Amino acid sequence: MAPDEPATRDAVAVRLALVAEYALYVWGNYLREAELDRLPEWLEPAVLAGERVFVHPHVAMSDDGPLRVDASRSLFVVGDEFVSGRNLSPAVTDDWRVSYLRLVTDGSADDAERVIEELLDEIEEQGASSTATMIRNATRCQSVRS
């Protein structure tokens, strides 16, 4: 299509590519109650910029190890607004906390499912198989709806 030709629907469709990205978020009262939502490490510039993965021994869902969090794409609450880590200033005031943790994946559905399965296996190993089964079933229902 030449620059001066009018765009037709077919020509535009050829130029567009839809890219789906899958993300996993973790949240819950535990972060806030244990005061893990205000660790100073959340505000390190390399962590907020996405240059380094956030890993802390107490930010975990099992005893098998900490969660690997992409803080740059996690959601923080500043005042009463949600802000992505990438858009959060390291010089933020005292009125902030991380709210929704985005786990590290490659963005594909397969990798998101792999991370979910690993977490559920860890939960089952700790004796909470009914919780893991409930989460697995809910995840499958959500995948079918999407």
pLDDT digits (tens, 9 = 90+) for 51-84: 999 999 998 877 778 889 999 999 999 988 999 9
pLDDT digits (tens, 9 = 90+) for 92-142: 778 899 999 999 988 888 888 888 888 888 777 776 655 555 555 555 444
pLDDT of res. 146: 41
Count Cβ atoms below 10 Å from residue 118 Cβ, excluding itself.
13
Q: What is d(CA 4, CA 119) in angstroms, rounded to the nearest whole number? A: 54
- The DSSP secondary structure of 24-74, one letter per residue, reads -EE--HHHHHTTGGG-GGGG-HHHHTTSS-B--TTSEEETTEE--B-GGGS
Q: What is the CA radius of gyration of the chain?
A: 19
Q: Where are the domains of the chain?
A: 19-145
